[in-house]
């Protein structure tokens, strides 16, 4: 639901002429449709299809968090800047989530030339002798079908499934394909350059009433307890009238972009996200279980939550340096591929140093006046592998980072877009897979480098850009409004 374009630096460092930030901003503007009630300080389009707005909830932590980051020298994020704190745009309108399917597919679902097959798995792409896409094999339940391709085939399966399908179709590293007895169609580094956003949870206990009443012993000051009756009422209000608690996501849309990079202090390399749990919160247990925290860690957090409210800080590495890989280990279409993220393995240890600096900075900021008004306290969570280290020591923080780091959903780089002369390139600037014909990719797996842009924004960008490319390729009278017209220069022999 969160939507973030990213920064100009994110795209300029791709070093691709047709993907400069000045051009990319035009694609974003054509996609976006901002319908918020208040003016936004950021560049955002108003005539596109992607409905964007702000939640702007009145969560009590919004003000103290803003003051906390101000003590570290950060200001509200301004246009053209990458450092600061802000409320993220969301793809929501009138309390309804406007996902990609609802935004783009619902309006065209009645078209006679548009077909959707549910419960379908693509198993293999077939090629002709001259390496042109001939069709794709799919499984619908127990039945295998073949779909013929007349013009082009576009992959949008995501970073993991794109790799799996390409490998099983004979496109990938030659050694891997031969090891799995798959005929080689194109020897390309599909699955290499794998990158993921990595984050570390920081659990902080707070008391809501202390911040609001100034005196925790005041009889009228009631702490923020989770109430099932209130939960049922909120559910009813949302289902019937689209009002109440479930029309926003609390403090989750408030994010801070900070820098722990000594070489580039003007560019954010860490994004800090926030989540809040009431005292004895019903959601906390499922939250910990879904993220597969160690049972001892989960039990410790739940124990603290019985007597305190929990504030969760999530520092996230926005531009990881470490590189992993994804590859198949079986030719069966239902088998799971191998995912080797190789976190914190970059040669100079940049990722680990960035995360260590972010964690220690946030812990120190919880002692700021704004947070101490709520009696903020960094919790000594029971981490089995860290029990022998002194709490808040250097070795404790190192242990915490190693044991509690977890990836986000955003990953990319496995079908890297770039110049065809580079050994790590899989697709060119028009998103065509190299060494074959009639095959393109259009999702976040194209990203040469994972950056501060979230997956939703990048997926929409790649789709909009590819739509422009395809119209230019297959329509005789189409003229792109985004790209500069290339002027042909005729050189007459003897004039030079």
d(C-alpha 88, C-alpha 220), whole Å: 34
Rank 182-186, 370-374, 462-466 by mean pLDDT and report only the highest: 182-186
What's the angle, vertex CA 469, arms to CA 466 and CA 471, rounded to 5?
110
How large is the average pLDDT for residues 293-309?
A: 96
How large is the average pLDDT for residues 301-309?
A: 95
Query: pTM for this structure?
Result: 0.89
For residue 38, what is the enclosing H or E element?
Answer: none
For residue 51, what is the enclosing H or E element?
Answer: strand 50-52
pLDDT at 187: 97
> pLDDT-based confidence at 257, cuts 50/70/90?
very high
> pLDDT-based confidence at 487, cuts 50/70/90?
very low
pLDDT at 168: 97
pLDDT at 219: 44
Q: Which of 362, 437, 397, 381 is nearest to 130 (CA)?
A: 437
pLDDT at 35: 86
For residue 327, what is the enclosing H or E element?
Answer: strand 325-327
CATH architecture of 56-86+197-410: 2-Layer Sandwich (3.30)
How large is the average pLDDT for residues 276-304?
A: 94
Collect contacts of 262-269 with beta carbons under 8 A, ≥24 apart. Answer: 266/82, 266/83, 267/7, 267/9, 267/82, 267/83, 268/7, 268/82, 268/83, 268/318, 268/452, 269/317, 269/318, 269/319, 269/354
> pLDDT-based confidence at 426, cuts 50/70/90?
very high
Lowest average pLDDT, out of 15-19, 141-145, 232-236, 471-475, goes to 232-236
pLDDT tens digits, one per residue of 160-215 = 999 999 999 999 999 999 999 999 999 999 999 999 999 999 999 998 765 555 55
pLDDT at 246: 63
Lowest average pLDDT, out of 145-159, 187-201, 264-278, 349-363, goes to 264-278
Domain borders along the chain are 56-86+197-410, 117-193+413-448
For residue 201, give every residue at least 6 positions away whose Cβ sits within 8 Å of its Cβ, in sequence order, or none: 312, 313, 314, 404, 406
d(C-alpha 494, C-alpha 102), whole Å: 60
pLDDT at 298 over 50: yes
Select the more confidently predicted residue: 145 or 491.
Answer: 145
How large is the average pLDDT for residues 242-249?
A: 68
d(C-alpha 460, C-alpha 446), whole Å: 12
pLDDT tens digits, one per residue of 59-111 = 889 999 999 999 999 999 888 888 999 988 888 877 788 888 888 888 999 99
d(C-alpha 360, C-alpha 393), whole Å: 10
pLDDT at 217: 52
How large is the average pLDDT for residues 403-432?
A: 93
pLDDT at 378 over 80: yes
pLDDT tens digits, one per residue of 6-65 = 888 888 889 898 899 889 999 998 998 888 777 776 788 888 888 888 877 778 899 999
Q: Which of 170, 136, 163 is nearest to 152 (CA)?
A: 136
pLDDT at 312 over 50: yes
Instruction: Give me the CATH code for the 117-193+413-448 domain, please.
Output: 3.50.50.60
Q: What tokens does 307 get?
A: 């007597």
Q: Locate tokens 């208040």: which residue? A: 38
How large is the average pLDDT for residues 141-162?
A: 94
Select the more confidently predicted residue: 429 or 235.
Answer: 429
SS3 helix, strand, coil % of the chain, rounded to 5? 30, 20, 45
pLDDT tens digits, one per residue of 433-444 = 999 999 999 999
Q: What is the CA radius of gyration of the chain?
A: 25
pLDDT at 483: 63
pLDDT at 317: 95
Q: What tokens does 271 get?
A: 């994004």
Percentage of the chain surpassing pLDDT 70? 91
Q: Which of 226, 227, 246, 230 is nearest to 238 (CA)?
A: 246
> pLDDT-based confidence at 229, cuts 50/70/90?
confident
Terminal-to-terminal C-alpha distance of the chain: 57
């Amino acid at each position: 639901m969160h939507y973030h374009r990213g920064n100009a630096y994110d795209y300029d460092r791709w070093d691709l002429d047709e993907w400069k930030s000045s051009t990319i901003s035009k694609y974003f503007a054509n996609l976006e449709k901002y319908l918020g009630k208040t003016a936004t300080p950021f560049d955002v389009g108003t005539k596109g299809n992607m409905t964007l707005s702000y939640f702007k909830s009145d969560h009590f932590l919004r003000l103290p968090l803003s003051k906390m980051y101000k003590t570290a020298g950060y200001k509200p994020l301004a246009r053209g800047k990458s450092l600061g704190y802000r409320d993220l745009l969301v793809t929501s309108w009138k309390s309804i989530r406007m996902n990609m399917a609802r935004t783009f597919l619902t309006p065209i679902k009645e078209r006679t030339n548009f077909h959707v097959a549910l419960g379908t798995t693509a198993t293999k792409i077939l090629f002709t002798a001259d390496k042109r896409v001939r069709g794709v094999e799919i499984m619908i339940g127990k039945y295998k079908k073949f779909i013929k391709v007349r013009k082009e085939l576009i992959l949008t399966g995501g970073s993991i499934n794109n790799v799996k399908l390409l490998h099983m179709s004979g496109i990938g590293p030659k050694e891997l394909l031969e090891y799995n007895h798959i005929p080689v169609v194109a020897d390309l580094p599909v699955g290499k350059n794998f990158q993921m956003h990595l984050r570390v949870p920081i659990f902080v206990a707070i008391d809501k009433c202390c911040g609001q009443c100034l005196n925790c012993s005041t009889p009228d000051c009631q702490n923020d307890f989770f109430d099932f009756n209130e939960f049922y009422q909120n559910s009813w209000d949302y289902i019937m009238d689209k009002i109440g608690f479930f029309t926003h996501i609390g403090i989750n849309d408030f994010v801070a972009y900070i820098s722990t990079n000594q070489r580039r202090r003007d560019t954010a390399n860490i994004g800090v996200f926030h989540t809040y749990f009431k005292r004895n919160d019903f959601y906390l247990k499922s939250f910990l279980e879904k993220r597969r925290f160690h049972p001892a860690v989960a039990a410790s957090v739940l124990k603290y939550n019985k007597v305190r409210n929990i504030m969760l800080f999530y520092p996230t590495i926005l531009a990881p340096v470490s590189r992993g890989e994804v590859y198949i280990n079986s030719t069966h279409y239902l088998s799971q591929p191998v995912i080797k993220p190789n976190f914190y393995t970059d040669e100079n240890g940049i990722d680990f140093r960035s995360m260590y600096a972010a964690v220690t900075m946030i812990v120190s900021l919880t002692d700021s006046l704004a947070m101490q008004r709520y009696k903020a306290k960094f919790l000594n969570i029971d981490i089995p592998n860290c029990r022998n280290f002194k709490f808040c020591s250097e070795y404790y923080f190192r242990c915490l980072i190693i044991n509690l780091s977890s990836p986000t959903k955003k990953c990319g780089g496995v079908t890297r877009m770039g110049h065809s002369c580079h050994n790590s390139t899989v697709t060119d600037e028009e998103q065509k897979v190299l060494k074959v014909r009639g095959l393109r990719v259009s999702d976040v797996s194209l990203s040469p480098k994972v950056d501060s842009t979230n997956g939703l924004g990048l997926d929409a960008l790649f789709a909009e850009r590819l739509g422009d490319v395809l119209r230019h390729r297959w329509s005789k009278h189409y003229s792109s409004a985004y790209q500069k017209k290339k002027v042909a220069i005729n050189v007459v022999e003897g004039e030079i």
